[in-house]
Structure 1
C-alpha cells in the first residue's frame, strides 16, 4: 500500500515502524560494539598481544557498521517526514564520533602498538557509544509511544542495555589502573579512581533501574530483565574469554 492510500494513523504507524527499526539497529550495534570493547578490555587485563585487527576489534567495528546503517535509515526517514528530532541528531553526532574513532584507533595502534584501557581513541569511541545509545533509547520512547501507545519491554531492554554497558566502560577507564603503557601513562590517580568507582557505579545502577521501571510503567520484572541482560553480557565478554577463570 502506498503512502497516498494510507490513512493518517496508518502513515504515522508506518513511519514509526521504520524509525523503530533504525533505533533498534543502532542500539544493537552499540551493544555489539560495547561487547567487543569489553572483550578487548579482558584481553588488555590478560596482557594478550593484539593489533588493530584483533578479533574483539572486529566485533566492535561490526557493531559500528550496524550503528552507521541504522543512522542512515533514521536520517533518510527523517528527511522523508520533513523533521529531524533531537534523538536522531544525537545519534548522528554519536555516529560521526564513532566513524572518526576508527581511523584514530588504527593510527594509534600503528604508532604505539598495545594501548591502555584509557586512551584518546578509546575515549572518543566510548563517548560515541554513550551518545548514540542515549539517542536511540530516547527515540524508541518517542516513536514507540506512537506505534504502541507505550514502549514495549523488549525495546526498553534493547535501548537501555547498550547505554548501561557503554557508561560502565567509561567508568572503568577512569577507575582501573590499566592505562600505563611503554609510551603513555593514563592511569588515574588512586584517590580519584576510588572516588569515581565508589560514587558512579551505584548512581549508574540506580539510574538504569529507576529509568527502566518508569519506562515500563512500573511493571514487575523490568529491572530484573535489564539487570539479567547486563550480567549475561558481561559474563560472555569478560568471563568466558578468560581462560584463567
Structure 2
C-alpha cells in the first residue's frame, strides 16, 4: 500500500467512527430526552444537601441531580467518604443550620407518625433545617455512612411510604423503595408545614412533575427501540462481543 492510499483510508476511517450524542450540560441527557424545559425551581423552606455517589454521578438517570436542579439553595456534592470534605464539614459546622439525615433505621424519627408540634420541635428556633440525602444504591448508602465519620452522629429522620415508587425505568429493591427525588418530595410533604412552607400550594409537586416527564420519555424511547428491527437495536452483549468500550450513546 502506497502512502497516498494509506492517508486516504485513514481519513475515511475518521468519517466512519461512532458519532456520540451531545449531552445537556445541566441534566446530562441527550437532546431528545432533555428534561430541563420541565424544571421549575422553588424554595422548600429548607436546604437539601444531596450526597451523590460517583457511580450515581455517571448515570444519566440520576434523580439526585434532577432534585438539585429543581430545589433552590440545594447542594450536589460528589463522594463516598465525606469525613474530610470541606463543603460538607462547613455545612455541618454552620451554627445557623440544624442538620438531619434522611435515612431509615431504628434510630430515625418517623415523620409519618409525628404531630405538627413534634415536627416543629425538630428544628431549634432561628435555625434553618438542612436535610442531607444520600443518592446511590442501598449498598453504597450504607458504605457512605460507615466511612463518613462526620455523618454518623447527625440526627436521622425517615417516613413510611404510602404508595409504591413510580420509578418504572429502573429496578428498585422493593416496591416501596423510593427514588431520591420521590423521597425528598415526601419529606417536604410531611415536614413542610412545620417550616412555614405552604404545602397546599403543591409547589413541591414540581419535583414529581419533572420526574414523571423523565420516566415517560424513557419508556417512549424503550418502546421505539423495541419497534426497530432486531439487528438495529442497541445490545450490550453485542457491544461487548465487538470489543467496544465507553458509555452508552
Q: What TM-score does the superposition give when structure 2 sets the normalisation length?
A: 0.29
Q: What TM-score does the superposition give when structure 1 sets the normalisation length?
A: 0.29
The structure with the largest strand share of the pair is: 2
Greater Rg by CA? 2
